[in-house]
Amino acid sequence: MSAAGSTPATTEQGHRPRRNIAIWFFGALGGILWGYDTGVIGGALLFIGRDIRLGPLVEGMVVSGLLLGAMIGALSAGRLSDSLGRKKLIVSGSIVFVIGTIGAALSVNAPMLIAFRLVIGLGVGIVSVVVPMYLSELAPKHIRGGLSSLMQLMVTTGIFVAYLVDFAFSGGGLWRWMIGLGVVPAALLFVGILTQPESPRWLIGAHDRVRDADARARETLTRLRGSEQAADAEIEEIKQSVAKEEAETQPLRLTDLLAPRLRLLFVIGVLLVFFQNWGGINTIIYYAPTLLKNVGFSDQQSIIANAAIGLLNMLMTLPAMRLIDRAGRKPLLIFGAAGMCVGMLFLGITTLLGLTSGRTSGAIAITLIGIALYIASFAISWGPVQWVMLPELYPLRIRAGAMGICTTLNWLFNLAVALLFPSLLAKFGAGPNFLFFALTTLLALIFAWRLLPETKGKSLEEIEAQLSLGGDGQRIGEAASSRS
């Protein structure tokens, strides 16, 4: 009967880790949906043509329909999460996923398939904005980076699972099952997130519209942090931040992102998502099987090797989750950009020299080494760090809207790369394209080294005060002005 004699603090401390794990798991589960629906279509397209006639243009619309939907979902998610709350919008996003997935799996013609792929994209866009924000606002500051980077781990896990499902159903060409199994994590997200708390930061910011908002925020933080004292201190810090914003003569609006006070932070956020996409990751994710076939892999070997690349992408996210709060955001991005640049440079030079052509073990090994170096470098740095840093950069009152804009641009850059790369590949060949991405990753390294601030170990309120209200933000701006 020792449990009966435990103090409340001990009991709370004993239950807190379990509750925290549930929040991080169900919150980041949206990333699995994102990764799964992004990765599964590649294998499904090999067999959809048996039931639905797809020309090259229509096939491209099926693939890019998700990206267009994601842009729309991301653009609307910021304002909706401010008005409805983070939790309610994640629930809504899971419902959108279920509807889109079932509709796509049961499609009988191309317009129906494209339309429901767009619906799935709406769900992807919603969770890509709200889930990182939700995790960031619930996480304690000393481990916020590692917990928030669960999103990227779940995305890579979803891609890997999609590759395995494609392989499992490829024998029978069961593309409807490939797509339809995405309903499983969507249903888990819907059920699981209903049991989790609302973001205390959103509750305090919406205290005039939500009944008992302060009490609910205090209860949630007490459970998460394990003590009333820690919860009270964090609530006071959040309230001071909100009060400071509300006391301004002109409340912050999204248009303020273009004003001198926040312009540089907005530029940093845009460049962060630009370099993540134009560093070439989507070309590897989408076209690795084609590259492998060109150097001698069979169709089945290409699928298996692609799954191995997905596994590497997922596994290298794990050390990033530990390093992001130890080494910091900025060193990881610099290190990752260097590795990505070397990987692309290696692939570009060896391709131009003809070392990757022909059905030889040497050509296969060279291609795999270059791809593996690039994927490992991306997965430990630019993959997870972007989703940690974006919600850290902006003040509370415009965080959701700024995240929405940056994430919308993320999908726009993703769409642009996906649409342009096949034409660029056909016109210039693989070698010059690899060298182009080596150049963009070099520019990403310079950006991370010279312009990017470090946000490790600081509360969201401390970051806001330092970056947008003077402090580091002013020094960054002065440094940028002096160099221009």
DSSP sequence for 433-484: HHHHHHHHHHHHHHHHHHTPPP-TT--HHHHHHHHHSSHHHHHHHHHHHHH-
What was the pLDDT predicted at 56?
67
Q: Which fold is adopted by the domain 252-484?
A: Growth Hormone; Chain: A; (1.20.1250)
Residue 316 has pLDDT above 50, yes or no: yes
All CATH 1.20.1250.20 domain ranges of the chain, comma separated, are: 13-196, 252-484
- Is residue 446 pLDDT above 50, yes or no? yes
Helix (H) or strand (E) holding 432, with range, is helix 430-450
Q: What torsion, rounded to 10 degrees, do the Cα atoms 345, 351, 352, 355 define?
A: 120
Confidence (pLDDT) at 114: 93
Q: What is the dihedral of CA 410, 112, 77, 383, to 10 degrees?
A: -30
pLDDT of 248 strictly over 80 = no
How confident is residue 321, by pLDDT bands cut at 50, 70 and 90?
A: confident
Mean pLDDT of 337-350: 94
- pLDDT recorded at residue 148: 57
Residue of 120 and 17 predicted with greater confidence: 120
Averaged pLDDT, 456-468: 62
CB 385 within 8 A of CB 333: yes
What pLDDT sits at residue 109? Answer: 93
Report pLDDT digits (tens) over 381-432: 988 888 778 877 777 667 767 777 887 888 889 888 877 777 777 788 788 9
Q: How confident is the model at residue 445 (pLDDT cuts 50, 70, 90)?
A: very high
Give the up-direction half-sphere exposure of residue 78: CA atoms within 13 A in the CB hemisphere.
22
* Whether the predicted pLDDT of 142 surpasses 50: yes
For the chain, the average pLDDT equals 78
Residue 475, pLDDT > 70, answer: no
Residues 6+ apart with CB under 8 A from 103: 112, 115, 116, 119
The per-residue pLDDT for 235 is 80
Percentage of the residues of the chain whose pLDDT score is greater than 90:
18
Mean per-residue pLDDT, 6-13? 39
The mean per-residue pLDDT over the stretch 183-194 comes to 88
Region for 457 from its dihedrals, namely left if φ exceeds 0, alpha if ψ lies in -120 to 50, beta otherwise: left
Instruction: Label residue 8 by pLDDT band (50, 70, 90).
Output: very low
Whether residue 117 has pLDDT greater than 90: yes
Provide φ and ψ at 304, rounded to 5°: -65, -45
Q: What mean pLDDT comes out for the span 264-287?
A: 85
| C-alpha atoms less than 13 angstroms from C-alpha of 396 in its C-beta half-sphere | 24
Q: What percent of the chain has pLDDT over 70?
A: 78
pLDDT at 408: 80
Average pLDDT (22-41) is 79
In this prediction, residue 245 carries a pLDDT of 59
143 vs 130: CA distance, rounded Å: 19
CA distance 37 to 95: 15
139 torsion bin: left (phi>0), alpha (psi -120 to 50), beta (else): beta
Q: List, as own/partner pairs, every contact residues 440-443 make where C-beta atoms lie below 8 angstroms and the sequence separation is at least 24, other chains included.
A: 440/275, 440/278, 440/279, 440/280, 441/275, 441/279, 441/280, 441/337, 441/340, 441/341, 441/344, 442/337, 442/341, 443/275
pLDDT at 104: 94
User: Which listed CATH number (2.30.30.90, 3.40.50.150, 3.40.50.9100, 1.20.1250.20) goes with 13-196?
Assistant: 1.20.1250.20
Is the full-model pTM beyond 0.75? no
Q: What is the pLDDT of residue 481?
A: 39
Taking 90 as the threshold, does the pLDDT of residue 284 lie above it? no
With a cut of 60, say whether residue 473 has pLDDT above it.
no
Which range is least confidently modeled, 9-23, 114-128, 253-267? 9-23
| Mean pLDDT value across residues 278-304 | 73
pLDDT at 278 over 60: yes
**What's the pLDDT score for residue 45?**
78
Quickly count: other Cβ atoms within 10 Å of residue 3's Cβ.
Answer: 8
In this predicted structure, what is the pLDDT of residue 99? 95
Cα distances (angstroms) measured from residue 482 to each of 192, 209, 259, 476, 477: 50, 45, 19, 10, 9
Low-confidence winner among 147-151, 371-375, 449-453 (lowest mean pLDDT): 147-151
Per-residue tokens: 479: 């440094």
More confident call, 81 vs 273:
273
pLDDT, one tens digit per residue, over 159-179 is 899 989 988 887 788 999 999
The more confidently predicted of residues 172 and 286 is: 172
Helix (H) or strand (E) holding 17: helix 8-48
Give the pLDDT band (50/70/90) at residue 441: very high
State residue 396's pLDDT score.
67
Identity at 196, one-letter amino acid code: Q
What is the per-residue pLDDT for 462? 66
Residue 229 has pLDDT above 70, yes or no: yes
8 A C-beta contact, residue 380 and residue 334: no
Q: pLDDT band for 465, please (50, 70, 90 cuts).
A: low
